[in-house]
Structures are given as C-alpha cells and as structure tokens.
A and B are shown apart, each in its own frame.
Chain A
C-alpha cells in the first residue's frame, strides 16, 4: 500500500495558528478523557452502590424501582443515551432553562452531557456488581447481623457491604477500564477527547495511521495504569480465606 509515513507530524505546529503542536492536541484530548472518565466514575460508583443495595432490600417497591433503573440504563445503547442527553434533554427542560443551557459554552454542554450519560450508564452496571457481591454472601451473615440486634441498615453498613465491596473489586476493574474506552463515544457530540483529537489530527494532516496508532497507545497506557492501580487495591483489600485471599 502506498502510504506516506511521517512521524514528525506530531511536532509540527497546528494549522489553526494557535501556537501549539499536534502533540499538544493529543495531550489536551488525553486530559479531557481522563477528566471525563474519572468524574463520571465517581458518580457511577456512588449511584451504583446505592442502586445495587436497593436491589437487594426486602421492600418490593424499592427493589422494583432499582431494577427498573438498572434495566433502563443498561439496555439502551450508550450512543443513543448520549444523544438523548445532549439533543433531547435540553428540549424537554422548561424553555428558559433549556435555552440557557444551549447558549452556554459548548464545551461545558458537551462535558456535562457526556459526564451524566457515562455516569448513569456505568452506574447501572456497577449496581449489578454490587448486587451480585451482596447476593454472593452466605445468608447467615445477614441473619447473624440482625440476630445481634443491628437494624437492617446497620447490618448492611457494618456486616454485608464491607464484605461485598471487597469481593467485587475484580469485576469493578473491568467497569473502570470500560468507562475510559466508552468515553470515546462522546466524540460524536463534538467533545474533543482523545479519540476526537485523533480524528481531528487525521483531518488536518491526512496522516491517519500515525494518528490512530498514537491514540491506541495512549488508551493502552491509560488502561495499564488503571489496571495496575486496581490490582494494588485488589491485593490490599482481599478477604482472607476467600478466592485469591490468603
């Protein structure tokens, strides 16, 4: 294939005259990807923990509500959810509020829509991990907690959750990795994260291979860091006597 390789392209000044190089663009994209993914992950963890717990409580209304939440956010494709948040949501708000949102800085709009979208989508998946963690505990633990005079919330807080959360660290690692990869979807609404900067580099320089290879390596490095971090957490919190524990 006749391809004109040029790795020096990253050091060239950009064609927009903003005295940065294409490498700077990639770094901005990487920062955006990290900022977006981490903020969405924090929200997803909190929401997912709450919803996951609710799915296991004896109250039928509460668990039904939590189940509905999980099914909605887990079963609609991420891209569709993103378009709903970005394009449809502002039209459903009261007109003044919707217009205020739409007139605001586009980067803020794109970031907020992306963050909410990724956070809710991932929270549904985290909720499932939390639920399975809780359900994997022997029923005796809950009964023992209650028999000791704990209320149900106290049993969750002091007996079940400390166990369950430690058991689900490995599957949570996958979700954490996924959120970084899923954040690439947000390039479709114009958010200039890593994948979008890569695509933009192609548009400006007509050097697709260098650009996509650089993006691939950046995602790979990012995920290696996340994986080693989570591995460290896993080793330090694992439950003695359980799988993988000592």
Chain B
C-alpha cells in the first residue's frame, strides 16, 4: 500500500516534471525572455480608434482590440509562470507605431493596424483580429451615395491609412478631380467633415461607426458606398520572434475558437459603449466569423 502510493507519487512528480520541462529547459529568447526577466510588458494602444482602442471619459484605455490584447497578456503570464506581470501602456499613432515596435518601446500593439505585405517587411503580425471594409461617411442629406459621387468634391481621410492611399489612387486612375484632405487622426478627420470642409470621410467602416458614436447627433450621419478594399487587422509584434508570436497567436486563437471572441465582439459592436453610450449596431460579418472559426495571420493584399 505504502509502496504503491510512493510509486504513485514518484510517477506523478515525474509526469509533472516532464510536463513543465519544455518551458524550464527551453532557453527563452527575444521578447519572452525580456518579459520574464523584467516582469513587465509594454503594450501599444490607440487614443481614438473607437471601438478598437481608445480612451474612455476617465482616460482609461478600452476597446475591442485592447480587450483581446489583455487576453494575450493573461496567456503570457500563465505561459511564463509569472506571479505578477506589470503592464506599461504606451499610446501610439498611425505614424509612429511601426518604429516603436521595432525599437523595443512597444512589445505588442493591438489597435486598428492593417496587416499588409509592406509592413511585414518591418514587423510581424499576429492572427487577424478583425476584418473591415473601406467606405464613406457623409451627412444624411448630402446626396453622396457612392464613390463616383465624390468627383470634384473635397474628401477627408486620415493620414497614414490605407484609405488615403486608395483615395489618391482612385483620384489618379479615374481623374475624379477630388481634393483630398489628410487629417492627422480620425477625430480630426471627423471634425473636418462635421465643419463642412469635406463632404465625405473615407475610412474603415467600423471606425466610421465609431466616429458616429462620438457625434453630437449620430442620426445626422450615414455610412455609404461600396467597400473599396477589405483589410485584416492584426496585433503588431517584432519580426523574427517566433516563440513570442506563437504564444500570442495561440492565445488569440483560443479566444476566437472558444466563442469568447464573439462575446467580446457583442460587447463592443452590438451594445452601448462609452463615451456616449451609443450602440454601433455593427453586425458580425461573415469575414469576421471566418477568422473566428479558423484563425490565421494572412494579409489580404
């Protein structure tokens, strides 16, 4: 009896040591090593990408992407067996996000960053967390229904986005004689639209609904037009760090396939959200459903 339980304990401890062995024995490298050694992770977030990553009225970072990023942090904590993992939050902009990831200021950035092949030369992307289409926001009574209606008009978009690129290309290719205003962030783009400087604002559809949620009267605005492109949002991390990427990807895949992601989606896109308690009413698209079912890190371009 005693012998048996002894042997049982021995086997159990052997199994336990075998199970934990891969983590203990394998030398940690790159970002995982840095996190383990410093007990801290530096996260990049956006300031006005509603509802992905933005400040609420108490200046706390919230949003769909941010919540997913915190899930990844939980997974990292478990993976590295850390009792405590300090989170350092660093606001990033469209213009500086790639540099900050590269130079080590930011370990992981989940916001509204499109995964494309150009950026893949500099940074690495996690599993896709969202899929958007690029469309237009305009005043309800502006008479703008689709992109051809923009010919000869002032149109605003945010600097450094794929929309800016598409709009300029469209202007060249179709000789539309649009005047394109590039504002520095989504908030300023909307201000440009709201003050009548531009008749339409081209941007990722989810962000357009997000801007609507901030407007004085949401019913004054509509999102129209055929999507000009579909884009995959991913979390950015440093290139050539497969161990870290694997942990991030697995954490995201687990959230997506377990159905948890759908709940997070519903919280940010189908229920009232801060700051104004507006409901975006942005139904779950088939594209997003597909990435939830089979998570992957493919860019669309």
Contact = CB atoms under 8 A, between A and B. Distances in A.
Contact of B240 (A2, A203, A208): A2
A3 interface: yes
Contacts of A99: 196
B183 A190 contact: yes
A205 B99 contact: no
A26 B119 CA distance: 21
B154 A103 contact: yes
B32 to A, nearest CB: 16
Interface stretch (B44-52, B53-61, B173-181, B262-270): B173-181
A18 interface: yes
B173 A17 contact: yes
A208 B121 CA distance: 12
Contact of A17 (B172, B183, B184, B195): B172
A202 B168 contact: no
Output the residue of B168, B181, B182 with the most chain A CB within 10 A.
B182
A4 interface: yes
B109 interface: no
Interface residues of A, number: 33
Given A3-B122, A106-B154, A190-B182, A202 B196 contact: no
Contacts of A107: 179
Contacts of B180: 106
B251 to A, nearest CB: 23
Interface in B181-215: 181-184, 191, 195-198
A157 B129 CA distance: 70
Nearest to A188: B184
Interface string B227-248: 0000000000011100000000
B159 interface: yes
A66 B190 CA distance: 38
Contacts, number: 83
A109 interface: yes
A207 B94 CA distance: 14
A4 B180 CA distance: 31
Contacts of B122: 3-4, 206-207
What does DSSP make chain B's interface, helix, strand, loop or mixed?
mixed
A199 B169 contact: no
Interface size class of B (residues with CB under 8 A): 35 or more
Interface string A99-112: 10011011101000
A87 B195 contact: yes
B104 interface: yes
Contacts of B173: 17
Contact of B95 (A17, A91, A102, A203): A203
A164 B183 CA distance: 43
A7 interface: no
A243 B155 CA distance: 56
B169 A208 contact: no
Contacts of A90: 195
B197 A106 contact: yes
Nearest to B171: A16
Interface string A75-99: 0000000000001001100000001
Given A16-B171, A189-B184, 6 more contacts: A91-B195, A187-B184, A192-B182, A199-B95, A202-B99, A206-B118
15 contacts: A1-B102, A1-B103, A4-B121, A18-B172, A90-B195, A102-B197, A106-B154, A106-B179, A106-B197, A189-B183, A190-B183, A196-B182, A202-B99, A203-B94, A203-B161
Interface of A: 1-4, 15-18, 87, 90-91, 99, 102-103, 105-107, 109, 187-190, 192, 196, 199-200, 202-208
The 4 closest A-B pairs by CB, nearest first: A203-B160, A16-B168, A106-B181, A17-B172
